[in-house]
Amino acid sequence: MRKKGTRNPLRKRYLREIKSQWKKYLALFLLLTLTIGFVSGMFVANDSMETAAQEAYEKYNIEDGHFTMKELPADALLATFAEEGIHLVKQFYKDFDEDDDLDGERDAKARVFAMRDEMNRACLMEGRFPEKDDEIVIDRMHADNSNVTVGDTIRLNGRDMTIVGLVAFSDYSTLYENSSDVMFDALTFDVAAVTPECYETLDGKEAYQYAFQYNERPQSETEQKEKAETLAEQLMILSASGGLIDDEETADKLEELIDAGEALEEEGDTLEAEGDALEAEGDTLEMRGDALQEKADALKQEGAALEKAAMSLEITPDVAMQKKAELEKRGEELQKEGDALEAEADDLKKRGDDLQARADDLQKRADALEAELTALLPQVKSFEDLEQYEDETNELKDFVPEYANQAIHFAPSDLGSDKVMCEVLLIILIIVLAFIFAITVNQNIEKEAAVIGTLRASGYKRSELLIHYVSIPVIITFVAAVVGNLLGYSCFKGVVVSMYYNSYSLPTYVTLWNADGFIRTTVYPLLIMAAICTLVVFLKLRLSPLRFLRRDLRLSRRKKAVRLPKWKLMTRFRLRILFQNIPDYLVLTVGIFFVMIMLAFSVGLPATLDAYKADITDYMIADYQVILKSAEDKDGNPVETSEPTAEKFDMEGLVSVDGPHIGEKISAYGYQKGSSFFDLPDEMKDGEVYVSDAYSEKFHLSPGDSVTLKEEFGGRRYDFTIIGIYDLPGTVAILMPQDVFDRVFERKEGEFTGFLSKNEIMDIDDEMIMTVITEEDMMKMAKQLDHSMGSYMKYFAVICMLVAMLLIYLLTKLIIEKNAVSISMVKVLGYTNREINSLYIRLTTCVVILGAVITSCLSFLTVREVWKMVMYRLNGWFTFAVRMDLIIETTVMVIISYLIVSFFDMRRIKKIPLTEALKNVE
Amino acid sequence: MQKEQHFLEVHQIYKAYGSGDSRQEVLRGMDFTVAKGEFCVLLGPSGSGKSTLLNIIGGIDCADDGYIAIHGDKLKDMDEKALTMYRRKHLGYVFQLYNLIPNLTVKENIEVGAYLSDHPLETEELLQTLGLYEHRHKLPNQLSGGQQQRTSIGRAIIKNPDILLCDEPTGALDYNTSKEILKLIEEVNQKYGNTVIMVTHNEAIQQMADHTVKLRDGQVRKNIMNENKISATELDW
């Protein structure tokens, strides 16, 4: 039995073994250290920044959501929130053109708030908050990107403002101008704050935005979502009803009542018209009666005059009799006329009575309807009362609950996903390196087979030898993990932080000790390394001491040689080498695949962005897309333009309810017949639509499929049948002719959203325009991605090539070392170095080239799938560029890396001594 | 067979390994010649320097002093490339532990030698001669020691080298197999007229040689020409 405290003497070999193969171990150590260091830095930076971002919720009192109204909302509308247990805070803002370098050119759009001291407070990063007019604080990251700092002057719509502080706005950690934007914009979008007094003096378009918090915070994500959806619906109804009602049922009921009221009013109007006609008829009758009376009076006077003349015998009796008869006849006629008039009057009276009865009935029904209205809405006593609410109707322009607010959430969630991705990359690389270590150990075991056999025969246990051979990989991994973590906390943390600060406007953070990160970057690599090496060594050490003494270490039964065709000897020789070294070449290919994935990303991303920029015109529906605030001007006339290329269009914001991204914002377009911007049929059935190819690709849709979409802020759902795919790669949209659009979305005739135009529309009042989407807006995403990641990609590609060189160096070194005796032997036989290189180097070259070509294709496809997964989380869609030239480029990069390494390999082969073949022993 | 005098000249060869206290002189002024077509045995105990000398003759190692000359061409005047060509054109090597290329079949191992020659022997015929035809598609680890050594001899002689260097070719073999191998080498020597230089510590083998150089402590102790050599089949030890 071994004396207690006596250590295994084999441990003395560790240092010597490392020293004897220091180049290989150094390369492995460097790869491990740098990878662990970077990932450790990533963990430390991410967790510290994530903690700061989480703490910001309480520290800066971040909202539960916000909404924007088209007009300044009525008090009644706002009062409802207090009743619903929601705390509202006004956060109006104005957007300005920002000139950072005072050259008179617009550099960015600035969203200026009055200092917010209750909700969504800002974190001061440098300087102080504004105290006077013309003092401003702006976003720290935008300031960095625009090369302005505290003390500099910027110009907002021509007004000079002095920067007194740089801040991180808690609700704009990622600079999303609109919640529906595909990508944030740290280059041409800025958020700023001034004193409330200064804000009032700033002359610009104002957005009526309110932040809100629930008095009782939702306890779960589901509750949070339900609450937000209910609130959005309420808000939409409230704004549409001028703050009168907030639920759909009442809205429907009210609509019914209003319809019934309107029918009654129409009936009343008819009655009134009928009454008026009756009255006019009465007047005519009266006039005719009066005329008849006059005639009767005249007849009477004539009769009296006749009687007087007859009595005074001024006329003869015959004449008198004759005239009397005439008078009687005229009297009879008058009597007849009077009777007819009386009959007409009776009829008129009857009709008047009838009309009165109908009017009484109408009044009764109107009273009942009003009673019903009051019962429904106690604050409304009559239909006339509704008019005051009608004056206060509004429109909900935007509703963004906190959980869906990209400006708040994107950065923290990106921090989390980056961490996961880095961890996955670390694990893959550790596995690759563990296999390289395992191959190294395996070779050492084969080289030292007789010694191991002797030691085992002398009584050494398998476990003692296993520990001995696994120790070096584990020790090197442990040292690399420790050094890597030290580098992670010191150098790499700064690198990662600066990367994030370059893209996100995050608040100040404190570096936190990250136990989880330490475990993942230390324990995991150690476990992986130990597990893989132990497995390989264990399988070898299972063999009997005799097998070791006989140097017979095959794990499988003797294999027959593969019969090869009668090719040239050198070809067969190479194939035999390939068959013998398949595990090594497999690890080499996996290593190349690992590098290729990183290379595909570093080469593919800039190419994707370049392609996107180059094809930007294809991605635009029109060069100018003018969205109006209203289709009618102040006087109620439709907004028109004299721009000859302009064409009206209609748009409705919908969201997906299923598929790979629930809640995806989908624009429904209504286009004019014979549209010059949409090459689509003029006639479609209701419910039939074309979908953009971006939508089709993202949601895997084909003609014939059905889709259900929902109102963005309401609960109404629409079912559509896809009849075709339209080439519109940048926009997730459905398209239909205007008349179909009007019927589907119950639009009034003549209603529209704005104009599409090839030229800038100059003759529409700015006040009428809500926004204009131009090429610049479409480029924002590409520019931002380019800024955030594109600039790093060249360096990343170089790092990838270095990693490729190290990996290929290690693996080809192992292959050459494994074949050293054979190489030495053929040298002894008289083979020249050139011939030997043609055997070993050319084979490896073929494997590397083939591996590079295959893995390059695979890696691009892999990255494309990963890219899709990322895009599923975002609004919008564009695909990762997988092009032949990029595949060739990455393949060439790996081949160049290999060629550099192969130079060292040739030197290594040349250095293999002839006596190596004569040793035959360890 | 008419032997050419001074085909191979070993002249005052000195060789030492290490330096300082650990310096060890392995060869100390070795001097002898070998005629063309001669079967020469370098005989000596362990540490006598016989393998070192063979490596120097084979151009694998180099002498500190003195020279080896073939046809009057001194190896020390040759650069690496010329030495490679020397090994390629003139030498065949047979080792104690065969040193076959493990991932090549028997036939392919022999073809590795054929590749080096402009006029190699016929592979199939040689395989028959070596008794390996049935095993030609086997890998070395599927063969017995004797078969492996026969393959090694095949690889060495297929290019019909001027000199066949054999380093303890029977050292790892049993008695009968050793005799088979010696017989094969003898046949090769007689059939193809190659000069054979064989290193061995087996004194019995000197009986089948034309010429025996006995070595001890890095020096030639005896240089014996054998007038009454016997056939390998008659050897006994």
Query: Domains plus CATH for chain B?
Result: 38-59+89-234 (3.40.50.300)
Min Cα distance A832 → chain B (Å) is: 6
Which of A301-315, A418-432, B116-130 has the highest average model confidence (pLDDT)? B116-130
Task: For tokens 């009296």, name the residue.
Answer: A304
pLDDT in tens, A862-891: 999 988 887 887 777 878 888 899 999 999
pLDDT of B3 reads 47
Look up tokens 């090839």; give the residue. Answer: A758
Yes or no, beta carbons of B116 and A830 under 8 Å apart: yes
Backbone φ, ψ for residue A202 (5° rounding): -75, 130
Contact call for A829 and B55, based on CB within 8 A? no
Tell me the chain A residues in contact with residue B114 when contact means C-beta distances shorter than 8 Å: 569
Between A409-423, A468-482, A880-894, B115-129, the lowest mean confidence (pLDDT) is in: A409-423
Residue A889 sits in the same domain as residue A866: yes
Question: pLDDT value at position B1?
Answer: 43
Which among A740, A773, A806 is the end of a domain?
A773
Shortest distance between the Cα of B123 and any Cα of chain A, in A, equals 13
Sheet with B39-43: strands ordered across: B91-94, B163-167, B195-200, B39-43, B211-216, B219-225
pLDDT at position A917: 73
Quote the radius of gyration of chain B (alpha carbons, Å): 17
- Among the ranges given (A61-65, A306-310, A617-621, A909-913), the one the predictor scored with the smallest mean pLDDT: A617-621
CB nearest A829 (choices: B51, B87, B142): B87
Beta carbons of B101 and A822 less than 8 Å apart: yes
Q: CB-CB: which of B55, B103, B112 is closest to A569?
A: B112
User: Is residue A19 assigned to a domain?
Assistant: no
Residues of B with CB under 8 A from a CB of A: 51, 55, 58, 60-61, 81, 84-89, 91, 93, 95-97, 99, 101-105, 108, 111-116, 137-139, 141-142, 155, 167
Q: In this complex, do A576 and B108 lie within 8 Å of one another by their Cβ atoms? A: yes
Nearest to A561 among B91, B113, B137 (CB): B137
Phi, psi for B188 (deg, rounded to 5)? -60, -45
Which residue on chain A is closest to B139 by alpha carbon? A561
Tell how far CA A618 is from the center of its chain: 20
Per-residue pLDDT for B67 more than 90? yes
The radius of gyration of chain A's CA atoms, rounded to the nearest angstrom, is: 44
The reply to whether A96 falls in a domain is yes
Stretch B211-221: mean pLDDT: 92
**Which of B56, B100, B108, B115 has the highest number of chain A CBs within 10 A, making it the mutation to test binding with A?**
B115
Residue A387, CA distances (Å) to A247, A382, A657 in order: 19, 10, 37
Strand order in the sheet with B24-36: B24-36, B4-17, B65-70, B73-74
Same-domain pairing of A89 and A227: yes
Percent of chain B with pLDDT over 70: 98
Q: What is the SS3 assignment for A1?
A: coil
Question: Buried b vs exposed e over A42-68: b needs ≥16 C-beta within 10 Å?
Answer: bbbbbbbbbebbeebeeebbbbbbbbb
Q: Which residues contact B221 (CB under 8 A, 6 or more apart)?
A: B44, B214, B215
In whole angstroms, how far apart are CA A655 and each of A344, A606, A695, A875? 68, 30, 12, 10
More confident site: A185 or A283: A283
CA nearest to A93, candidates A170, A205, A187, A168: A205
Q: What are the distances in angstroms from CA A769 to CA A108, A667, A777, A863, A868?
A: 19, 19, 16, 41, 35
Q: Give chain A's mean pLDDT.
A: 85
CA distance A866 to A248: 42
Asked if the Cβ–Cβ distance from B88 to A829 is below 8 Å, we say: yes
pLDDT at B32: 93
- Whether residues A821 and B99 touch (CB distance < 8 A) is answered with yes
ipTM associated with this complex? 0.80
Band the pLDDT of A391: cuts 50, 70, 90.
low
- Looking at the structure, tell me whether residues A157 and A276 fall in a common domain: no
Question: B114 vs A918: CB contact, 8 Å cut-off?
Answer: no
Bridge pairing between strands B219-225 and B211-216: antiparallel
**How close, in Å, is residue B96 to chain A by CA atoms?**
9
Residue from B147, B143, B214 nearest B184 by CA: B147
Asked if A570 and B115 come within 8 Å (Cβ–Cβ), the reply is yes
Q: How far is Cα A177 from Cα A452, in angstroms, rounded to an integer?
A: 69
pLDDT of B10 reads: 93
> Which residues 6+ apart lie within 8 Å of B119 measured at CB?
B160
Amino acid present at B20:
G
Q: Is it the case that residue A922 has pLDDT exceeding 50? A: no
With an 8 Å Cβ cutoff, the interface of chain A facing chain B consists of 552, 554, 558-561, 563, 569-570, 572-573, 576-577, 579-580, 821-822, 825-833, 914-915, 917-918, 920
A406 within a domain of the structure (yes/no): no
Mean residue pLDDT of chain B comes to 88
Q: Are residues A325 and A294 in the same domain?
A: yes
Counting Cβ atoms within 10 Å, is residue A504 exposed (0-12), middle (13-18) or buried (19+)? buried
Question: Is the predicted pLDDT of residue B2 greater than 50, yes or no?
Answer: no
DSSP string of A299-321?
HHHHHHHHHHHHHTTSS-HHHHH
Q: For residue A509, give both structure tokens.
A: 């953070």
Contact (CB<8Å) A825/B111: no
Closest CA relative to residue A212, chosen from A63, A81, A401: A63
- Nearest by CB: A558 against B87, B97, B141: B141
Phi and psi at A705, nearest 5°, equal -75, 155
Residue A403 lies inside a defined structural domain of this protein: no
Q: How many residues does chain B have?
A: 237
Pick B137's closest partner by Cβ from A563, A829, A830: A563
Instruction: Flag whether pLDDT at A2 surpasses 60.
Output: no
Facing A918 at nearest CB: one of B55, B81, B105: B55
* In contact, A626 and A765? CB cutoff 8 Å: no
Closest by Cβ to A829, choosing from B61, B93, B141: B93
Q: What is the mean pLDDT of residues A43-62?
A: 87
| Alpha carbon of B211: minimum distance to chain A alpha carbons (Å) | 25
Which amino acid is it at A758?
K
How long, in residues, is chain A?
A: 922
Question: B139–A559: do the CB atoms touch at under 8 Å?
Answer: yes
How far off is chain B from A580, nearest CA to CA, in Å?
A: 6
Residue with tokens 């080096």: B116
Q: Which of A828, A831, A916, A919 to mutate to test the interface with B (most CBs of B within 10 A)?
A: A828
Q: Confirm if A480 and A33 have CB atoms less than 8 A apart.
A: yes
Cα-Cα end-to-end distance for chain A: 29
Distance CA A65, CA B12 (A): 98
Residues A757 and A784 in one domain: no
The predicted structure's pLDDT at residue A180: 64
Tokens, residue A611: 């392609």
Residue at A4 is within a domain: no
In this structure, the answer to whether residues A73 and A221 fall within a common structural domain is yes
User: Which segments of A46-181 are extended strands (E)?
Assistant: 65-69, 86-90, 93-99, 108-114, 122-127, 135-139, 153-156, 159-169
All residues of chain B having their beta carbon less than 8 Å from the beta carbon of residue A579 are: 103
Residue B167 bridge partners (DSSP): B199
A550 and A433 inside one domain: yes
Number of domains in chain A: 5
Helix/strand/coil for A163: strand
Q: How confident is the model at residue A243 (pLDDT cuts 50, 70, 90)?
A: low
Chain A residue with the nearest C-alpha to that of B86? A830
Q: What is the dihedral of CA A890, A893, A897, A903, to 10 degrees?
A: 130
Q: In terms of CA atoms, which chain A residue is nearest residue B83?
A: A830
Task: Report how far residue A837's alpha carbon sits from residue A846's, in angstroms, rounded to the nearest whole number.
Answer: 12
Answer for the pair A844, A838: CB distance below 8 angstroms, yes or no. no
CB contact under 8 A, A918 and B51: yes
Pair A865, A908 in one domain? yes
* pLDDT tens profile B40-52: 999 998 888 888 8
The pTM (predicted TM-score) of the whole model is: 0.67
User: Which of residues A242, A265, A291 is at a domain's end?
Assistant: A242
Say yes or no: A766 and A781 in one domain: no
Handedness of CA A837, A838, A842, A843 (dihedral sign): negative
- For A566, name the nearest residue in chain B, comparing CA atoms only: B108
CA dihedral A882, A884, A890, A893 (to 10 degrees): -160
∠ CA A584-A23-A810, rounded to 5°: 20
Nearest to A830 among B88, B137, B142 (CB): B88
User: A254 and A196, same structural domain?
Assistant: no
What is the distance in angstroms between the Cα of A835 and the nearest Cα belonging to chain B?
10
- Number of H helices and E strands in chain A, helices first, is 27, 20
- Which residues, 6 or more positions from A222, have their beta carbon under 8 angstroms from its beta carbon? none
- For the segment B190-205, the average pLDDT, to the nearest whole number, is 91
pLDDT at position A757 over 80: yes
Could you tell me which chain A residue has the CA closest to the CA of B87?
A: A830
Residues of A in contact with B85 (CB under 8 A): 830
Report pLDDT digits (tens) over A764-801.
887 778 778 777 777 766 777 677 666 667 777 888 88
| Angle formed at CA B10 by CA B5 and CA B12, multiple of 5 degrees | 135
How far is the C-alpha of A260 from the C-alpha of A413, rounded, in Å?
52
Residue A191: both structure tokens together: 């958020």
Domain match, A582 and A723 both? no
Average pLDDT value for residue range A826-854: 90
- Interchain proximity B61–A917, CB inside 8 Å: no
Size of interface A-B (CB pairs under 8 A): 88
| Structure token digits, residue A96 | 């300005």
Q: How far is A692 from chain B (nearest CA, A)?
A: 59
* B104 chain-A contacts, CB cut-off 8 A: 572-573, 576
Crossing angle of the two packed helices B145-157 and B123-130, in degrees rounded to 10: 140
Please, which residues have CB within 8 angstroms of residue A753's CB and are 6 or more apart in sequence?
A627, A628, A631, A649, A650, A651
Range of the domain at A762: 624-773
A67-89: pLDDT as tens digits: 988 888 877 777 777 777 889 99
Question: What is the pLDDT at residue A617?
Answer: 65
Q: How far apart are CA A176 and CA A521, in angstroms?
A: 34
Q: Is A413 domain-assigned?
A: no
The distance of B79 to chain A (nearest Cα, Å) reads 13
Q: Are B225 and B53 in contact (CB under 8 A)?
A: no
In a domain, A552, yes or no: yes
Q: Which residues on neighbouring strands pair with residue A325, listed in sequence order?
A: none
Question: Which of B55, B87, B138 lies closest to A915 in CB terms?
Answer: B55
A868: which residues sit within 8 A by CB, 6+ positions away? A879, A880
Residue A51 has pLDDT above 50, yes or no: yes
Cβ pair B141:A576 closer than 8 A: no
In terms of CA atoms, which chain B residue is nearest residue A580? B103
Identity of the highest mean pLDDT range in A475-479, A502-506, B84-88, B174-178: A475-479
The verdict on A752 and A787 lying in the same domain is no
Q: How far apart are CA A237 and CA A892, in angstroms?
A: 61
Residue A21 lies in a domain: no
